[in-house]
């Protein structure tokens, strides 16, 4: 038995090994069965074994499903969302897409049959294969509420996990195949108040949505204010003619550092000296009192005009 190869395989696969891999490491079927009967190894799925010394994690459960189904299988839908991550979302659901001819069912695994799992829609994530963020957004449109798809869209764009070009390609190609979820993702993209501009955070994008929903004229996104050759600030949003600046403050981001806190105050002072009026909006206000946000912007614009 090749103990080194056995350890490497278990380490690489977060404590998992298939029966075939165990045989390739020199174990006989009897030796494998003895490990299972003693409790040293568990059997999460037929043909897949788990070393009981390794902790059970979401990653391990997802990989067990992939090993049991075999290629072409990838973590997808809410499973891929759990891997790519989005603020405020957690899921223990293992969801996998596999080939159209697979008939196997697995305990505690949601399986989708797909004929378009091309390599370009698949990404490695540690030991897992996962649908790309663009393909994941399309798939999510068929299984979750649109508000969650929107949250993923904005957060993944702002963190550069997702590119607009990739999403447009996914929508175009999967749309031809009539894939469920394309319509949701397409409507969200086409209705974005920012168009194809990318915000620095989901909450920054939300401000543009709030203003558009309440009939406030669209501001300039990421407007740069200069004094001569000196750059004073790059504003989240601005109405340059009226010299109205709109800034979004996520709770805690401006308080984590005394230096950032001081810089923000000095920066705003310089803007005020140059004749700018600054409105600042907290995350909670944008989420729970959007009408008030729009009203304050409208009233300040009226005053400045």
User: Residue 302's pLDDT is what?
Assistant: 96
The residue that leads in pLDDT, 281 or 90, is: 281
Residue 286 confidence (pLDDT) above 80: yes
**Global pTM?**
0.85
Read off the pLDDT of each residue in 235-240 and give the average, rounded to a whole number: 96
Q: Is the pLDDT of residue 170 over 80?
A: yes
Q: In the chain, pLDDT over 90 holds for what percent of residues?
A: 81
pLDDT of the residue at 152: 96
Please determine, for residue 136, whether its predicted confidence score (pLDDT) is greater than 80. Answer: yes
Beta bridge partners of 113: 98
At residue 263, does pLDDT exceed 80?
A: no
Residue 255 has pLDDT above 70, yes or no: no
The token pair that represents 173 in the structure block: 């190609």
pLDDT tens digits, 47-64 = 999 999 999 999 999 999
Mean pLDDT of 164-182: 89
The pLDDT-based confidence of 251 (bands split at 50, 70, 90) is low
Give tens-digit pLDDT for 268-278: 899 999 999 99
Given pLDDT bands bounded at 50, 70 and 90, which one contains residue 88? confident
Residue-wise pLDDT tens digits, 22-47 = 999 999 999 999 999 999 999 999 99
Compute CA 99 distance to the chain's CA centroid, rounded to the nearest angstrom: 24
Angle value at C-alpha 152, between 148 and 156, nearest 5 degrees: 170
User: What's residue 57's pLDDT?
Assistant: 96
pLDDT at 189 over 70: yes
Mean per-residue pLDDT of the chain: 92
**What is the Cα–Cα distance from 124 to 122, expressed in whole angstroms?**
7
Set out the domains of the chain in order of their start, with CATH numbers: 3-56 (no CATH), 59-190 (no CATH), 202-304 (3.40.960.10)
pLDDT value at residue 1: 64
Structure tokens at 50: 């788990």
**pLDDT beyond 90 at 111:** yes
């Amino acid at each position: 038995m090749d103990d080194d190869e056995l350890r490497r395989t278990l380490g690489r696969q977060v404590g998992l090994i298939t029966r075939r891999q165990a045989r390739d490491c020199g174990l006989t079927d009897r030796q494998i069965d003895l490990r299972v009967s003693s409790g040293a190894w568990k059997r999460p799925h037929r043909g897949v074994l788990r070393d009981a010394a390794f902790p059970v994690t979401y990653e391990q459960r997802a990989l067990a499903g992939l090993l049991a189904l075999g290629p072409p299988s990838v973590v997808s839908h809410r499973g891929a969302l759990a891997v790519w991550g989005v603020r405020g979302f957690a899921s223990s659901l293992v969801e996998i897409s596999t080939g159209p001819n697979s008939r196997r069912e697995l305990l505690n695994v949601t399986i989708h049959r797909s004929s378009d799992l091309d390599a370009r829609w698949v990404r490695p994530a540690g030991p897992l294969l996962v649908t790309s963020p663009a393909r994941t957004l399309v798939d999510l449109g068929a299984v979750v509420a649109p508000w969650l798809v929107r949250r993923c869209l904005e957060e993944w764009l702002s963190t550069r996990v997702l590119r607009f070009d990739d999403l447009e390609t996914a929508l175009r190609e999967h749309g031809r195949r009539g894939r469920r979820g394309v319509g949701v993702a397409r409507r969200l993209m086409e209705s974005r108040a920012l168009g194809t501009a990318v915000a620095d955070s989901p909450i920054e994008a939300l401000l543009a949505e709030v203003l558009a929903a309440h009939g406030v004229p669209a501001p300039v996104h990421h407007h740069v204010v200069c004094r001569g050759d000196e750059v004073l600030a790059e504003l989240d949003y601005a109405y340059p003619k009226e010299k109205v600046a709109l800034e979004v403050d996520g709770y805690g981001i401006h308080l984590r550092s005394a230096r950032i806190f001081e810089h923000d105050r000095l920066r705003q002072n310089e803007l005020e000296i140059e004749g700018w009026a600054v409105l600042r909006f907290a995350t909670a206000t944008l989420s729970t009192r959007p009408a008030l946000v729009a009203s304050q912007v409208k009233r300040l614009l009226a005053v400045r005009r």
